[in-house]
Structure 1
Amino acid sequence: MAAEKQEAFSSLQDRISALERSSWNVGGVTPSSAGNNDADANASTIIITPAMTRARRHTQTSHCFSAIWRHCPSDYYSRSLDERVKILGANNVSQLCKACLFENKNYVCGAGAGAGEGEGKGGDDDKDKVDPTNSRYYLIVVQYIESITAKKLASELRGLRPPGSTRFSPTYFSDLRLAPADESVKLTGYGHNGVSPFGMLDSTIPIVLCASITKIRPQFIWMGGGHPDWKLGVSVSEFIEGLNAIVLDVSEPRANTLETEEISSA
């Protein structure tokens, strides 16, 4: 009897897993599997991780009904941008984006007028006080064909506060850097090449969308889906509204789209 119960339980688990995978468009020939042996693999071998589930649930609660998930080949990041467009079923390379976590090394917890003359560290006791104009971390979504510019980023973040006594000094955002990999994993819950703006562990981190993204056509972008082999596509309008994203002009066109540099000081 015990063996029969165990077999029935295992069968039920398999059916639940199969149902979950089918809801992610896993299996069969999809836009992500054209000409790709990895994507044509047996759907039962693909595992839906808790991080991916967390990201997907956030798209649902954020009313991002346009969200689409694509399973990509393991060598996705060694392929050209044009090849990635075909894998995702996108329209053009301008729709391909990535999410980068930046840290303000000059951050001062609860800073106000006159802040920025020295460096400081924020404390965990202030974590629940969300102030997008003064955050230690910012998650920035940028196109692969664009490069985040340090001067623009500093200027735009400073401009989130109106002119006057509450605006930070010009030096307050002068030391913005990519957060260390381990810190990014700790705060977002996602590893390299899998960072998604949806379902981050620290939900207080402001989301910044590069203004250039609002000019692409069609208004649909692709980004990390919580795992290196999964990508998430969503309409720009739903992304902005669902995540309360801040649209800022913080990037410039890359001279070479194959560059690996994430930020420039020019």
Structure 2
Amino acid sequence: MENPSSNDDNDNIKEQLNELINQVSMLYSSKNIVIHYLNHFKQKAKLTELDVAPEPVKKVEKACISLGIRDICRFYHVESDYYNWELQRRAFRLIAPSINHLCKSVIFENTRSSHDSIDDPLNSKYYCVITQYVGSINAQKLMNFVRALKNKQISKKNYNFRVAESEKSVRLTGFENNGVSPIGMKLQIPIILSSTIKNLQPPVFYLGAGHIDWKLSLPVHDFISATNCFIADLS
């Protein structure tokens, strides 16, 4: 039989925790706090060492170096049961400003494409789409955005975007599920960033780092500049 007082205690703890989360979120509305946060973030990034990281993570690091952003990238080695946790616990583990900052990279395939190439970013068979865990990807909006890249010259019947099968994703990126990084992919798949990520405050986001037990974070605008990714309203 459950103890009523124990349930009340748990409810009180949850209420207090939610209040704390709300207060922290309010702090980040201050421009001065955001500037201080970014400065601190970049200082910590310079101290990150990856001597014990697995090869896929080192591959991501090497790509960050090539892009000239390694000194503003932070890498995190998380627990093996990380993906069994609730989003808020994951955010606490990474010291992320909020659950809104937790993002994922998903490979989308145009199953009706007339070719298999990724050479033309304006008409690629595959796209690496970055979205928040709290968000969603509207396949219709994705299709509209990509079709507009070619000024709608290609018929709608030649588009049908779906999440690529796991085997295809691994073959294209070199990364396993929950470890996909848009930086350091095996093939240079065009990247589309959900526009909601661009509006995050502080403007940093957290992604897979090439291995399921490793995460990467960096300032959003530096990522956009370095990768020249597309930005689209996908929700």
TM-score bin, normalised by smaller chain: 0.7 to 0.9
* Corresponding residue of 1:170: 156
For 1:47 and 1:68, how far apart are their aligned partners in 2? 15
Partner SS state of residue 136, structure 2 = strand
The DSSP-based 3-state class of the residue aligned with 2:187 is coil
Give the paired residue count. Answer: 189
Tell me the residue number matched to 2:82.
76
1:171 match: secondary structure: helix
Higher helix share: 2
CA positional deviation for 1:51 = 1.1
1:243 is displaced (CA, Å) by: 1.2
4+ residue runs over 6 A deviation? none
- Which of 145, 149, 170 is the matching residue for 1:160? 149
Q: Any stretches of 5+ residues in structure 1 without a counterpart?
A: 1-22, 27-45, 110-121, 252-266
CA deviations 1:49-108 (Å, max 9, x no partner) are 221111011112112232100111111111111111110011011110000001001111
Indicate if the aligned counterparts of 2:123 and 2:150 stay in contact, CA closer than 8 A. Answer: no
Determine whether 1:192 maps to 2:177: yes
Paired residue for 1:247? Answer: 231
What is the correspondence of 1:1-266 to structure 2 with a 5 Å cutoff? 24-25=48-49, 47-64=52-69, 65-109=71-115, 122=116, 130-162=119-151, 167-173=153-159, 175-203=160-188, 205-251=189-235
Q: Quick one: percent identity of the two aligned structures? A: 34
Local SS of the residue matching 1:146: coil
In structure 2, what is the Cα distance between the partners aligned to 1:218 and 1:83?
Answer: 19
Mapped to 2, the partners of 1:157 and 1:231 lie a distance apart of 28
- Quick one: distance in 2 between partners of 1:68 and 1:159? 35
CA contact (8 A) 2:114 2:158 kept: no
Bigger Cα Rg: 1
Say if 1:25 and 1:70, in contact at 8 Å, map to a contact too.
Answer: no
How far apart are 1:201 and its partner, in Å? 0.5
Structure 2: runs of 5+ lacking an equivalent: 1-46
Supply the distance in 1 between the matched residues of 2:94 and 2:85 (Cα, whole angstroms).
12
Tell me how far 1:47 sits from its aligned partner. Answer: 4.2
Provide the aligned C-alpha RMSD in A: 1.8
TM-score by length of 1: 0.67
